[in-house]
C-alpha cells in the first residue's frame, strides 16, 4: 500500500516540511506492473503475498477489480508491503519501502506455483522481493523456456550468471549505473549491459523516452510531451505496457512507443495504480499524437 504525502518539495536530511495532502493507494512494483498490463486488456496472473492487516483485502480487491487473477496470491501473518512516498509539486518523488509480506515470498512459495509460471508467455520480475526468490524465479523460467523481463528496482548487485537468462532488462538511468561498468551515454550503457548476456535492454529515461537495444538493433523511442504532476509508477506503467506490446507481436520499438504513451498518460494523474490507463485511453492518445 502506498502512503502518499504531497509536499512543496522533498525534505532534506533532518528537515521537517509541511505537507499539503495525504492519501493511501494500492501500489508495489509487481502489483503496479500487473495492473498496468491487465488494464491494457491482457490476461495477467500475479504470484505474491499480502498481509493479514487492514491493507491486505483492499490490495487484493484492487488487483481483482483491475482484471488481475489473484488465485496465486498468498497471505502473510503480519503487515502487507508498504511504501512511504513523498511527492513534490514538480512531480518528483522519494520512496521508503517496508517489505512486510513481500519478504515472505520465498523460493519454496514460487515452486508451489511453478506450473503457472511455466505456462506464462512472459514473466515480469523486480527486486522488491527477496533477491534469492527473484534469482530462483529467473532460473525456473530459464529451465521452462519462458522469457523473463527484469526491472532491477530497487537496484542491487546481481551475479553474472543471471544476465543470460534475462530476455529484457529495464533499468532507469539511476539503476543502470550499477550494471553498466561505468558507461555514461545511453548507447554505451546499453552495449555494456548487452555484453553481460541479456537479450534486450530498455533504458527508461523519463522525459527523454526510452533507448531500446538488442544485439541486432538499437534506437531511441522518444517520449510524449505532457505536463507531469506525479511520476510515481511511471516506470512500472512502461514495463507493463511494454510487455503487453511484445505479447501482441509488436517489435520492441513499437512496443516501447506504446509503453511511452501509457506512461505519459500515467504521469498526468496522481497515484500509482490509480494513474494507470486502459487500452482505449492509450489508443486514443496514440491517435491524437500520430
Cβ atoms within 10 Å, residue 12: 7
C-alpha dihedral sign at 280, 282, 288, 290:
negative
Residue 12 lies in a domain: no
Residue 114 lies in a domain: yes
Residue 228 lies in a domain: yes
CATH value at residue 211: 3.40.1190.20
Report the SS3 class of residue 228: coil
For residue 102, how many C-alpha atoms fall within 13 Å in the half-sphere facing its CB?
23
So what's the pLDDT on residue 95? 83
**Nearest Cα residue to 213 out of 223, 224, 199:** 199
Using 70 as the pLDDT threshold, list the residues of the chain that sit under it: 181-183
Is 236 a residue of the active site? Answer: yes
Q: Give pLDDT tens digits for 248-267.
A: 999 999 999 999 999 999 99
Between strands 200-204 and 209-214, the pairing is antiparallel
Residue 146 lies in a domain: yes
Residue 14 lies in a domain: no
Q: Give pLDDT tens digits for 137-168.
A: 999 999 999 999 999 999 999 999 999 999 99
Which residues are CB-contacts of 45 (< 8 A; sequence separation ≥ 6)? 68, 69, 71, 72, 116, 120
So what's the pLDDT on residue 118? 97
Peptide bond preceding 269 in cis form (omega within 30 of 0): no
So what's the pLDDT on residue 183? 62
Total structural domains in the chain?
1
Residue 231 lies in a domain: yes
So what's the pLDDT on residue 146? 98
**Residue 143 lies in domain:** 29-48+102-288
Residue 3 lies in a domain: no
Candidates 2, 151, 180, 236; catalytic one: 236
Residue 222 lies in a domain: yes
Amino acid at each position: 500500500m502506498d502512503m502518499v504525502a504531497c509536499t512543496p518539495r522533498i525534505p532534506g536530511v533532518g528537515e521537517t516540511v509541511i505537507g499539503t495532502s495525504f492519501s493511501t493507494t494500492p501500489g508495489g512494483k509487481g502489483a503496479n506492473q500487473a495492473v498496468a498490463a491487465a488494464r491494457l486488456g491482457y490476461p495477467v496472473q500475479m504470484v505474491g503475498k499480502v498481509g493479514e492487516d487492514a491493507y491486505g483485502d483492499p490490495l487484493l480487491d484492487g488487483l481483482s477489480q483491475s482484471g488481475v487473477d489473484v488465485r496465486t496470491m498468498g497471505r502473510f501473518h503480519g503487515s502487507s508491503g508498504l511504501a512511504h512516498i513523498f511527492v513534490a509539486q514538480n512531480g518528483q518523488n522519494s520512496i521508503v519501502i517496508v517489505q512486510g509480506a513481500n519478504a515472505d515470498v520465498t523460493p519454496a512459495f514460487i515452486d508451489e506455483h511453478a506450473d503457472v509460471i511455466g505456462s506464462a508467455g512472459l514473466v515480469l520480475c523486480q527486486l522488491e522481493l527477496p533477491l534469492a526468490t527473484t534469482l530462483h524465479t529467473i532460473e525456473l523460467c530459464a529451465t521452462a523456456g519462458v522469457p523473463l523481463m527484469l526491472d532491477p528496482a530497487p537496484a542491487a548487485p546481481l551475479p553474472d550468471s543471471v544476465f543470460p537468462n534475462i530476455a529484457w532488462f529495464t533499468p532507469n538511468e539511476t539503476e543502470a549505473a550499477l550494471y553498466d561498468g561505468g558507461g555514461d551515454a545511453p548507447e554505451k550503457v546499453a552495449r555494456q549491459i548487452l555484453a553481460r548476456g541479456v537479450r534486450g535492454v530498455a533504458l527508461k529515461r523519463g522525459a527523454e523516452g526510452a533507448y531500446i537495444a538488442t544485439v541486432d538493433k538499437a534506437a531511441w523511442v522518444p517520449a510524449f510531451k505532457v505536463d507531469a504532476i506525479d511520476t510515481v509508477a511511471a516506470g512500472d506503467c512502461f514495463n507493463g505496457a511494454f510487455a503487453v506490446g511484445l505479447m501482441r507481436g509488436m517489435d520492441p520499438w513499437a512496443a516501447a512507443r506504446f509503453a511511452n504513451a501509457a506512461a505519459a498518460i500515467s504521469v498526468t494523474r496522481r497515484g500509482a495504480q490509480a494513474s494507470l490507463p486502459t487500452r482505449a485511453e492509450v489508443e486514443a492518445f496514440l491517435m491524437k499524437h500520430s
